[in-house]
Amino acid sequence: MNLSINFLSVAKMAPDDYVGFTFFVGCMAMMAASVFFFFSMNSFDKKWRTSILVSGLITFIAAVHYFYMRDYWAATGDSPTFFRYVDWILTVPLMCVEFYLILKVAGAKKSMMWRLILLSTIMLVTGYFGEAVYTDNAAFWGFVSGVAYFIIVYDIWLGSAKKLAVEAGGAVLSAHKTLCWFVLVGWAIYPLGYMAGTEGWYTQFLGSFNVDVLYNIADAINKIGFGLVVYSLAVNSSEK
Ligand SMILES: *C/C=C(C)/C=C/C=C(C)/C=C/C1=C(C)CCCC1(C)C
């Protein structure tokens, strides 16, 4: 019975609640993006369908988490750190899968995909330790997480993934490059949010801004933007 009551009651939102606003808009944007990716999927060559499906899964998983995070924020006024990290631990490995899928044409091996998945898992688990469990050592855990992040950046910009992208050339190479920029610039917003939300040597250098606003903006850019890069790759290579 509680369930029906929860669905019928809507928490109040103050007009200056920018955090709540970005949770709300984020939820809708992720939902709309999912519908877009799912519905466009079958208009592409078979070899691109899985990539588009994964783009849709990423935004769909996020939409569901945003639905809960929005509610959690409205009800408690706290950061929904737990839901946030559950979302990331599901969606970031899927982004690694996306790198693999678009490089498959150049003979990418599953081992490359698993390496990226493992690194992203280390990045997120250690980040969660610093942000939610061992908060007294946030700077240390943030550093460990950052090392994993930099290895990912290295792998895709200069390592084995880069080599495969060059071999594939054309539309795949340029899509790979764009995705690399997302990881270098778009993903860099997250450590900034982390530093804003935890205590460490960096606290004195950062003004106060809200973690969730940063994370929400970053998620919209990275999840929807990432999917659109894959979408336009599919469009460009299906035309010929
Ligand atoms: C859709 C969600 C995405 C793309 C999330 C990405 C998250 C990160 C790149 C997080 C990185 C972190 C660091 C590099 C250091 C501090 C801890 C984290 C987990 C915030």
DSSP 156-174: HHTSHHHHHHHHH-HHHHH
1 — pLDDT class (breaks 50, 70, 90):
very low
The structural domain count of the chain equals 1
Q: Are 111 and 99 in contact (CB under 8 A)?
A: no
For the whole prediction, is pTM greater than 0.85?
Answer: yes
Quickly count: other Cβ atoms within 10 Å of residue 45's Cβ. 9
pLDDT at 106: 86
- Closest atom of ligand 1 to 193 CA is 20
List the one residue out of 41, 59, 61 whose CA is nearest residue 50: 41
Q: Say which residue, 106 or 24, is predicted with more confidence.
A: 24
Q: Are 210 and 18 in contact (CB under 8 A)?
A: yes
- Closest atom of ligand 1 to 186 CA is 4
Domain CATH number, residue 71? 1.20.1070.10
pLDDT at 203: 84
Q: Are 69 and 79 in contact (CB under 8 A)?
A: no
Question: In sequence order, which ranges of the chain are alpha helices (DSSP H)?
Answer: 2-8, 18-40, 46-76, 81-103, 110-128, 138-157, 160-168, 170-181, 189-197, 211-219, 225-239
Mean pLDDT score across all residues of the chain = 92
Q: What is the CA radius of gyration of the chain?
A: 19
Q: Which domain holds residue 147?
A: 2-239
- Closest atom of ligand 1 to 142 CA is 16
**226 CB less than 6 Å from ligand 1?**
no
**194 CB less than 6 Å from ligand 1?**
yes
- Closest atom of ligand 1 to 131 CA is 17
**Is 7 a residue whose pLDDT tops 70?**
no
pLDDT at 16: 84
**216 CB less than 6 Å from ligand 1?**
no
Q: What is the DSSP letter of 41?
A: G
Q: Cα–Cα distance between 238 and 90 in angstroms, integer?
A: 29
**Is 6 a residue whose pLDDT tops 90?**
no
Distance in Å, CA 191 to ligand 1 centroid:
6
Quickly count: other Cβ atoms within 10 Å of residue 33's Cβ. 24
Q: Are 106 and 131 in contact (CB under 8 A)?
A: no
**Is 199 a residue whose pLDDT tops 50?**
yes
pLDDT digits (tens, 9 = 90+) for 33-64: 999 999 999 999 888 999 999 999 999 999 99
**195 CB less than 6 Å from ligand 1?**
no
**Is 159 a residue whose pLDDT tops 50?**
yes
**66 CB less than 6 Å from ligand 1?**
no
82, 126, 145, 217: which to mutate for ligand 1, most atoms within 8 A of CB?
A: 145
pLDDT digits (tens, 9 = 90+) for 82-103: 999 999 999 999 999 999 999 9
pLDDT digits (tens, 9 = 90+) for 97-138: 999 999 998 889 999 999 999 999 999 999 999 999 999 999
